[in-house]
Structure 1
Amino acid sequence: MASIFCVSFSFSQGEDIKKKVDSLKRTVISSITVDTLNLAAAHYYVGEWYRKATTKTDSANYHYYKAGKLYSLIGDKFGHASALYGIANIQRNEKDFMASEVNSIEAISMLEQLDQTYPVKELKSFLYNNLGILFNELEQYEQSIKYHKNALSIKQDLKGIDKFKIYNSLNNIGYVYKNIGKYKLALEYFNEILKDEQIIEENPEYYATTLANYAHTLYLSEQNDELPRLYFRALELAEREAPNGYVSIIINHYIAEYYNDSNQKTLAKKYAYRAKNISEQYHNDDLLKSLLLLSEIEEGENATSHLKAYIKLSDSLKKNERAIRNKSARIRFETDQIEKENIQIAKERAWLLVISIVIIIASFLLYVVVAQRNKNKELQFIQKQQETNEEIYNLMLSQNESIEEARTLEKKRISEELHDGVLGRLFGARLSLDSLNMNNTVEAIKTRGQYISELKNIEDDIRKVSHELNTDFVSGSGFIDIIKTLVETQTAVYGLNYNLEHDDDINWDSAGNKMKIHIYRIIQETLHNIYKHANATHVNISFRQKNNVICLSIIDDGDGFDVNKAKSGIGLKNINSRIKEINGTINITSEKNTGTTVIIEAPIP
């Protein structure tokens, strides 16, 4: 039978494949985005830790820069702006004011493009605050005040913001006004903070800083009535919270300056040296201020010594700042190089993704083709099996026709024998008895005895014919004859001797055609396996019936085999499949060089 195999995809199937591919692409891209976002966040928080908890600003700068690049890669403008803010803070502290300004403005521009949510506005206020501080350092005070007021305006517009963030902007504005000599305005901003009496309990150190700035503004405006009391009040609060802390440096500077102007040199030196000793533990900028202040308070060699130390430290700091700026530039350059490499890697990954998708689609198509081909083979096998079953069924029908014909002929023979033989003899005996009925001679009596004996013989003949009619001479022999024909044919072809035994009591008519067909095919397959694998010379086949269960045994004298290893063979799979169809069981035992025994049991439905 010829068959044509073809694979076709309908429009809907193509759409399903496209949807699956698109879904796969979205999953992969989403996975890449999530991984990039997590990596960017990791770099950002490492940078935060280095900036706030250590003095390793180069490490902080590196991680901020990496975070910014990764955030930019996935289009996260808020994350990118946050990283730029961290970099701008470091650059401001390292006196790289121009770079700090550029990064701050760039970050603000990014934030302006986003929805103005609470986090966006808050970060924008921090950036304006950074610009205000760096412009104060550049002595561009008007610009500094402008940015500080922008920060303050944003903070005041945020509901639920921490009040200390607002106070921070107020303090910064007051500090700038103090620097440009607008003392009245400075005092107003400081007073705005100090009138909150809860600050002393909530944050004494912050209150001390603000009070010190307020007192210093009074000093600069020559309002000395409350001085130095306010200085000492501020110093007391600062020392209580953080002995020898950073705030103490500023307050000791202010007190030393106050006593120096009052010509109280001893007290001025006391607080100036205290500021110097504390500042040596913190930041060089404050140490510079302490050395400069001591060069003004001291006299002679001591003043010269402090001035030289000031100059030396100042030069060293300038060199260090240049080195840090160069190092930052180098970090950016190296990071850019790494970024280029990452871009190349990303391209390679993109190609890998494309190739992977192509391979997946090709594999899917190959799977469809192979599955369809196997399905066609399976359908062809089933069709062939059905054709074979039909042939067996037709053979059985043909055999039954032969049996019915034999039955008819036998009945005709018996009928003729009854009519021509038994009935004729009865008619003759009846006429003879009629003629002797009235004769009582010895000879007549003897003759009647002979006729009576003949009647007995006729009775036996009738009983014999009746018995023959009552016994179906072909009962159960129809299917067995088919099996016998099969066995005779195959053993002759295979060169085997055989012995076929069966119980005459088996009612094959009640077994059903389905069971008989499967038994026929099982015997056929088993004989084929014996010929192909066993090298046997003789096979015994027997049918028995026990408790409405047909038992078929097939025994050969072949080489034998390992039953466990042979279970995966196609022949045994077919046999097992047929046994399953008739709810039967199979038991195979085999020994090397001895032979194999196959026992099959199937219940009669």
Structure 2
Amino acid sequence: MRNFFLIFTIFFIEILSSFSQQNRNDSLKSLIKQDVPDTVILKQMMDIAWNSFRTYPEQSLEIIINAHSLAKKLDLYIDEAKCENIIGIIYSTTGQYDSASFYYSKSLAIGLEHNDDVIVAKGYNNIGLNYYYQGIYNKAQENYFKTLPLYEKTSDSLGLANTYANIGNTYVLMNSFGDALNYLKNALKIFEKINYPWGIANTLNSMGSIYSDTDSLRNLAFDCYNKSLKIKTTLNDRFGISNTLNQLAMLYGQEKNYEKELEFYQKALKIKKEIDDKSGMTKALLNIGKTYNSLKKYNDALNYYFDALKISQEIGNYYDKQQAFSAIANTYSKIKNFEKAYEFKQLYSIISDSIMNVEKSKQIIEMQTKYETEKKQKENEILAQENQIKNLEISYQKNQRTVIFIVFAFILFGGFLIFNRIRLKQENKILTEKKLRASSVFQAQEKEKVHLSKELHDGLGPLLSLIKLNASSLDVNDKNEKMIHEIKELASEGMKEVRNISHALMPSLLEKKGLESALNEFIEQINQTDSIKAELSFSLTSKLSQEFELNIYRIIQETINNILKHAEATIAIIKLLETTKQLELTVSDNGKGFKVDEVSAGNGLNNIYSRVDFLKAKLKIHSESKKGTTFNIIVPINEV
């Protein structure tokens, strides 16, 4: 049912100061008597039409058509385009879409001819609204999204908010409710910031329509509609009041309070008739028929459906005609008149196919308008050329110089592109070779470390064990007891150091069980020294290459060694985090800190820098005196 109401929610392009109808008429009469300039009278006529069309559409249309003639006579293209937009808006709100399209296209053509972003933006926005009224939502969105960058460029907050709201309303009708709510909230935020009551009221209406479909959010819908109705009543916006009454009626219907539903639909229908809003009358009649259907008063329902069908045929609204055919067919089916039900079901199918053809027809009209605009532009160009015949020779020489300059510029630009391409290839080749060399160096270092680790473990380790064993087998007496004990202690200490050095050169757990296990073992070894407490936070989920794990392990190892040697810290924290785009390594301590710019890089820092470069990562070091040091390394996830 949302489609029956949201299609009326409309946000116009601009707003002038608002005061009573009588005051405006008196002001205009006073200006005419005072013999003021025509431009002042023109502005007043536009003001009266704009601020009155919702309540008095016929009178406003007559005034703005006269204003349009005056603007053309005075050769004021901006005011001419504004008048055409207002005429289009009045026609559109009263269901005369072809007439609205004609004037919107004329206004857009003026904006394009004069390269005026403000007029062009308003033209696209209003053309989108016209498609929106007719239920051609993809074309409506296409025009709205052309409008957004133009309003952003011209810093038009009101225009931007209106377009956000229009996009949101159209998304609702396309059943994309999440997108709709996002755009509507953006619109409401701007409307409230600039204190624009029309926009606030209409946006609340639209948000209420979204909330109304969820039982748990229905109270929010009532709240939005009642706030909107209060604002529109203050503004005497009869068009808007009728729309909000329709939406409140729909809510009562959802709660099966059919008496209230009928009451509010009838109030809305009365206003629609008073302001001659034929499109709105169609929706109201369809809604009243639906309510009578719910009450099983099928003959009453049919009467209202046929009234709706008659008006929709008069104004050429395919969407409403489609809804009327469907409702009539379903109602005849309920009263067992299957012959009539079949007849109107067939009509429903035919009109559904026709709706697809309507869009094609609109495209043809749009192409025709574009053709006429281009034709007029070409005629103006020919006229301008005829007036400049005497200057053809000078123009030719200027053009010749321009062509030579452009050709020369293209040659230079092309040469620059070729040179730049060659340079980039060479740089990429150097970077690739540099990375390969670095990889080879790291691999050679690691291979040597593995070799040394095995030599220490398999060679020196057993030798120390043998020394300890032989010392234990010696005859102990008072003279040599102390010496033998010292030999055994030294052998044990040597074995421990050999294991530590062997592990530092190549941690076996890294190869067997991966980075997390190796780091946990590394942390345990650090904590056994009692000189510092180390903590590890590990939250990686991606599968890492062995080379990557080894480089990360070496970076952490070098960083912790620097902390142990220089920081005088009591706590060291290692964090490894992963997001969708990057892996982040942070090593921090609570030590004495240092001045990063003044410290020369030793072997430890140089090794860290080398491995960071190899990983194509970014390293940041933050350190403050007596506040510790933090190493932060960011690695792109595609390098992992």
TM-score, normalised to structure 1's length? Answer: 0.45
TM-score (norm 2): 0.43
State the structure with more CA Rg.
1
